[in-house]
Amino acid sequence: MAMQLNFSNMLQFFSTISPILLAFFLVMISLFNTDIKGLVYLGGILIASLINLFIMNTLKVKSDKIPSPACNLMDFPLNLNEYISPAFNTMFISFTLMYLYLPMQYISSINYPVLIFICGLLVLDAVTKISRGCTNFSGIALGFLVGSILGIVYFISLWKTGHDDLLFFNAEPSNNVICARPKKQTFKCFVYKNGEVIGEANSGQ
């Protein structure tokens, strides 16, 4: 049966596809900027999804009540619709939240509209999923914990290995031109007398 077009169902649909929207927007931003930050993010979220999937299939937590048909608007593979903890969408959004927030905190400056938007998605998804019986509070909490930890670990692994140029929001908050110290150079000088070389000297700086 087709989904009725009302405000509640639209919110449910939007929360269901929110991970796809987040990934799509970040990849598009990366493409427009001609960098590979989006691919690096996708690599991290893929690893996080596999870990979350392993935890889901290990815990095998199912809903105590009959879930709403709206919970299965999209038929995901690998038992994503069968088990409810850790909640996949919550893990996905939490990973993205931490992955974007930490570079703002330690490298750049806080982008409040982005954080408010992602936090809004997180709350919307939690409310709609719990109200429809798609998951429970413990599933949301565990999904948030797993996603946050994995997002922090992935950020640290890039930052501490000197690959912070692959992170989003990694620019210094300054209007000044950033100058780099030139590498050490060596100059060779020749001393001429009557057109003939009578000596030479090396100097470095």
* pLDDT mean for each 10 residues of the chain (205 residues): 65 82 92 92 94 90 73 64 84 95 86 92 90 87 96 93 84 54 66 71 61
pLDDT of residue 4: 65
Please give the backbone phi and psi of residue 90, each rounded to the nearest 5 degrees, phi first: -65, -40
pLDDT of residue 11: 77
The answer to whether the predicted template modeling score (pTM) of the entire model surpasses 0.85 is no
The one-letter amino acid code at 196 reads: E
Give the C-alpha distances (Å, rounded to integers) separating 191 from 74, 126, 187, 196, 202: 80, 78, 13, 8, 11
User: What long-range pairs does 30-39 form, CB within 8 A, spacing at least 24?
Assistant: 36/166, 37/166, 37/167, 37/168
pLDDT of residue 202: 67
Give Cβ neighbours of residue 31 (< 8 Å, ≥ 6 apart).
38
